[in-house]
Every structure is written in structure tokens, then in C-alpha cells.
Amino acid sequence: MDSRVHSKDVKHAVYQKLQERGVGIEEIARIVMEMQIAYNPLLTLAACVESVHAVLNKRELQHAILIGIELDSLAERGLLSEPIQSIVSSDEGLFGCDETLALGSVFGYGSIAVTTFGYLDKRKSGIIRKLDTKAGSHVHTFLDDLVAGIAAAASGRLAHQQRDREEGTPASAPGADSASME
């Protein structure tokens, strides 16, 4: 297929759209920090930023982010057909597709990532709350869940990596193959 989009272009679009929608990598990393510091007092924000970049490198999460932001932004401009236009623009509680889309990419980082996602989605810390509060005319129905998903995935990744480091075996984290197996 000649028209196949190259991963580099997909990744570039993800970073650009997150920025356009007001989501900074460091803001996501701060949520990761908040979730993982209890388990690793030596955790640095730099390590959290790195973990966010690592999960943003995954194809299915990239696609979910692009689809979610596309739907938010179409809803914002009133370009969806009814009744989905009203459902998305009102961010109604029992919609479900927003969490489902985000969850798909969270599973890859272990059960701990799934429970972290649920927790973040309910408690809405930091940037997630800011997005969910929808000041003005912005629609962030998908984006708040996606950010919770990115933070949860990056948290799960750190949890497994920390354990690997403690054991000197950098292999068994979900989302990270051992170099020797590659």
C-alpha cells in the first residue's frame, strides 16, 4: 500500500495535537510522579517524562490519541451528526467510548496500569481535571481519558521497570522486551 502513513508522521502528529490541545508532556509526567512516588521515593520527574515518551511511542496509543482528539475537535466545531454531536459535546457520564478507547492502550502495561487508569479517571488530578472542567467552548470528552491513559501506562511501565532494576533483570516489564530477545 503506497499510501501507508509512516510511523514517524503519526508520532509527529501525536505530539503536535497534544500541544495544540494544551497538554504538555511534563504535565502528564507530574501525574505519573504523583502516582509512583509512594513506591519509589527516589523517582525523578525526568524518569517520569521519559516514561511518558516511551508509551507515546506505541502505535495503538498514538492512534487512540489521534482518533480521540479528532472527535473532540469535530464536536467542538459542531461537525458531528446527531445524536453523537450532543453526546460527545456534553461529555455525558455513561458515554463509555472515551474510557474504552483509552483503556485499549493501558492494558499493555499490566494490571497496575488498569487500576491506575481507573483511579485517575475518577479522581482527575492535575491536567486531567483542567481538561475535564471544560472552561469555555472546548470539548475534551476523549482527551481527559486519554491523558489518564497515558499517565497510567507510563506509571505501570515505571512500576515494572523498578522491579526489574531491583532484581537486575531488565526483561519482564510489560511493554519492554529484553534486549537479548529482540
Could you give the angle at the alpha carbon of 80 between the alpha carbons of 74 and 85, nearest 5°?
100
CB 101 within 8 A of CB 16: no
Q: How far is the CB of 168 from its own copies (least distance, A)?
A: 9
Helix, strand, coil shares of the chain, percent, nearest 5, are 70, 0, 30
Q: Which is nearer to its own copies, 115 or 126 (CB)?
A: 115
Q: How far is the CB of 175 from its own copies (least distance, A)?
A: 6
Ranges assigned E (strand) in 11-96 = none
Q: How far is the CB of 93 from its own copies (least distance, A)?
A: 7
Q: Which is nearer to its own copies, 23 or 112 (CB)?
A: 112
Q: Which is nearer to its own copies, 22 or 111 (CB)?
A: 111
Rounded Cα–Cα distance for residues 43 and 24 (Å): 20
CB 52 within 8 A of CB 100: no
Q: How far is the CB of 47 from its own copies (least distance, A)?
A: 11
